[in-house]
Amino acid sequence: MTAAPVRVDGVGLRFGRRVLWEGLTFDLGASEFLAVLGPNGTGKTSLIRMIMGLLQPAGGVVEVNGRPPVQARSGIGYIPQHRAFDRDLPLRGRDLVRLGLDGQRWGIGGAGRKLDERVDRALREVGAAAYADQPVGRLSGGEQQRLRIAQALVSDPGLLLADEPLLSLDLASQQMVTSLLDARRRSAGTPVVFVTHDVNPVLSMVDRVLYLAPGDWAIGSPREVLTSETLSRLYGTPVDVLEVRGRIVVVGTPDDHGAHHDDEPA
Amino acid sequence: MYTDLLGQQFVHNALMAGAVVGLVSGAIGFFVVTRGASFAVHAMSELGFTGAAGALWLGLSPVVGLVGGSLITGLALGLLSLRGRERDSAIGSVLAFGLGVGVLFLSLYQGYATEATNLLFGSVVAVSRPQLAGLAAVSLLVMAGIAACYRPLLFSSVDPDVAEARGVPLRALSVITYLLLALTTAEAVQVVGVLLVLTLVITPAAAAQRLAVNPATSIVLAMLIAVAATEGGILISLEWGPSSFWISALSFAVYLAARAAGWGRLRMPA
């Protein structure tokens, strides 16, 4: 039996004396799509950083393909939040994607035909070939995020981690991002961990939801987790989960101001 | 008259020094500009001045103090890895005090004030053969450092979040960048002086960013602009005026031209 792409066993997150969660346990299976939900400041980004080996858990074990995360980094594709590049940054789309392939290696790196071909293939896969030679800072948010996906896919990763990749994108670009990730996991069996504050753009493709609430967590299918009972238990206060025209709306959480915050403390 | 000057040894030395320093300044400048660390360059050159003034007072070679001052500043900045506003204000505060100490050292120093003036405004025509050899050796070291770290250096400069995720050691690269920058700064001071280091490290790289769309072209262009400005400035100064003025004037002229050209490019539809 091969090791799970991600194994999280009894993991805790603590900042100083503040405990965010304890005993977090789940396995991610091949080609599984896991959405990580929850309000700001509950450690969604920290979980991603643990899986990448950039943050030590307070107790417990995190493994990627049966190995410590630090040793498994080369097999992870990471898609960050959209953050605009400077308009005059001398970096083309294909340069950005190329960095995802060998940017971590020392030295200048020669002009390898094989590497160029892999970059071209990744650019075509996400439909970004047309503007691959433009400076990234002059592209739209959606175009930049397409390049981000190509950058994550070009190394042929066995695991995709996306941290709020839809933030500040228009609806069409959001759909493009989610469908590209969905296509990848269907064609190559690459599991996806997808951090988001809004489950609706990915609801049709989500296998399981990990909901991180202040001080507690729950994992299961969307039908199990996104219910009034489960969320009321997590928040310790009455929370209503409504289904409106196929969209899930959560009402009554303590941070429910009807507005979303763009950033979250690590 | 002018052709006689061109045959002089000191002119040859100056031109060689200009070429050597221009090449490294342009190359490291690319990374400084993409990291938004121009102010750090200023801090290193001015604290290099403090080191040199201290060395003069103690009767040591000012170059040793210069390199020492820049390196210590670079190491501190690299280890702190500050970002944004915090870095800005921290550098400003340390820089101000460091300069004050430099003034104290100078007042304690009883020798010729020419040494101090040379540090502040540069004296490329006074570069000797042994100094030239030293400049060339340090330049070679910096260029080798840039080449050895090129890909992760670029990655961490333009895209730090993903670079970190891919295992690029951000802090180590920050230290390496600032140390290479400190060496470059200590070199550039000897050509254009403390107050004009930015004209070799920042201006050419900033101009090149407006003209080139990929990193390699941008770096080569910055190197060429820095060398052209230095050599041009030295040659014009043989006729009239201080070389540091002409170097900064030429460098700035290229920057303005690049902005004008880049403005046209940015206005084009994507």
CA distance B154 to B254: 24
Greatest CA separation found in chain B?
62
A233 touches chain B (CB under 8 A): no
Instruction: Give A8 to chain B, closest Cα distance, Å.
Output: 18
Average pLDDT over residues A98-115: 90
Distance from CA of B156 to the nearest CA of A (A): 9
Percentage of chain A lying above the pLDDT 90 cut: 77
**Residue numbers of B between 126 and 165 with CB closer than 8 Å to A:** 147-152, 154-155, 158-159, 161-165
Q: How far is B172 from chain A (nearest CA, A)?
A: 13
Q: State ipTM.
A: 0.91
Return phi, psi of residue A27, to 5°. -115, 140
The contacts of residue B132 (CB under 8 Å, 6+ apart) are B13, B16, B17, B20
**Selected residue of A51, A73, A91 to mutate for chain B interface (largest B Cβ count, 10 A):** A91
The pLDDT of residue A254 is 77
Mean pLDDT of B201-210: 96
- Listed in sequence order, the residues at least 6 apart from A135 whose beta carbon sits closer than 8 Å to its beta carbon are A87, A88, A89, A90, A91, A92, B213
Residue A145 pLDDT grade (very low, low, confident, very high; cuts 50, 70, 90): very high
Residue B157 carries which DSSP code? H
Candidate from A92, A104, A135 with C-beta closest to B167 = A104
Q: SS3 for chain A, per residue?
A: CCCCCEEEEEEEEEECCEEEEEEEEEEECCCCEEEEECCCCCCHHHHHHHHCCCCCCCCCEEEECCECHHHHHHHEEEECCCCCCCCCCCCEHHHHHHHHHHCCCCCCCCCCHHHHHHHHHHHHHCCCHHHCCCEHHHCCHHHHHHHHHHHHHCCCCCEEEEECCCCCCCHHHHHHHHHHHHHHHHHHCCCEEEECCCCHHHCCCCCEEEEEECCEEEEECHHHHCCHHHHHHHHCCCCEEEEECCEEEEECCCCCCCCCCCCCCC
Total residues belonging to chain B: 270
CA A168 to CA B110: how far, in whole Å?
A: 62
Report chain B residues whose CB lies below 8 A from the CB of A88.
Answer: 209-210, 262, 266
Q: Which of A154, A193, A146, A185 is nearest to A35 (CA)?
A: A193
Decide which of B82 and B122 is more confident.
Answer: B122
- Report chain A residues whose CB lies below 8 A from the CB of B150: 107-109
Asked whether the beta carbons of residue A105 and residue B166 sit closer than 8 angstroms, the reply is no
Query: What's the CA gap between B137 and B133, in Å, rounded?
Result: 6
Tokens standing for B223? 């190197």
Contact yes or no for B261/B210 (Cβ under 8 A): yes
State mean pLDDT over A22-40. 94
Q: Is the pLDDT assigned to residue B76 strictly greater than 50?
A: yes
Question: E strand or H helix at B247, and its extent?
Answer: helix B243-267
Quick one: which H or E segment has residue B47? Answer: helix B38-57
Residue A32's closest CA among A221, A218, A176, A174?
Answer: A221
Interface check for B168 against chain A (CB to CB < 8 A): the answer is: yes
Is B23 in contact with B163 (CB distance < 8 Å)? no
Least confident of A45-54, A163-172, B112-121, B125-134: B112-121
B31, B156, B157, B158, best to mutate vs chain A, most A CBs in 10 Å? B158
Q: Give the pTM.
A: 0.92
Q: Which residues pair with A212 in a beta bridge?
A: A217
Q: Among candidates B187, B188, B220, B185, which has minimal Cα distance to B205?
A: B220
* Closest residue by Cα to residue A164 from A40, A14, A20: A40
**Rounded distance, CA B228 to CA B236, Å?**
12
Q: What is the mean pLDDT of residues B13-26?
A: 96
Q: How far apart are CA B244 and CA B189, in angstroms?
A: 10
At A256 the pLDDT is 62
pLDDT for A168 equals 84
What is the residue-averaged pLDDT of chain A? 91
Inform me whether the C-beta atom of residue B268 falls under 8 Å from chain A C-beta atoms.
Answer: no
- Which two tokens mark B171? 């802090």
* Segment A133-156 mean pLDDT: 95
pLDDT tens by residue, B140-192? 999 999 999 999 999 999 999 999 999 999 999 999 999 999 999 999 998 88
Strands A76-79 and A159-163: parallel
**In contact, A200 and A248? CB cutoff 8 Å:** yes
Which residues of chain A neighbour B173 with C-beta distances below 8 Å? none
Does residue A265 register a pLDDT over 50? Answer: no
Tokens representing B192 are 């254009």
CB pairs under 8 A between A and B: 98
Do the strands A192-195 and A159-163 form a parallel or antiparallel pair, or are they unpaired?
A: parallel
Picking from A21, A52, A8, A248, the residue whose alpha carbon sits closest to that of residue A160 is: A52
* Cβ(B115)–Cβ(B214) below 8 Å: no
Rg (CA), chain A: 19
Average pLDDT over every residue of A122-128 = 94
Q: Does the pLDDT value for residue A259 go beyond 50?
A: no
Q: Residue B270 and residue A99: Cβ atoms within 8 Å?
A: no
Strand A18-28 to A6-15 pairing:
antiparallel
The DSSP element (H or E) to which B117 belongs, if any, is helix B114-121
| pLDDT one-digit tens code per residue, B83-124 | 667 778 888 888 899 999 999 998 888 777 777 778 888 888
Integer-rounded Cα Rg, in Å, for chain B is: 18
* Closest Cβ–Cβ partner in A52, A103, A140 for B155: A103
Residue A100 at interface with chain B, using a CB cutoff of 8 Å: yes
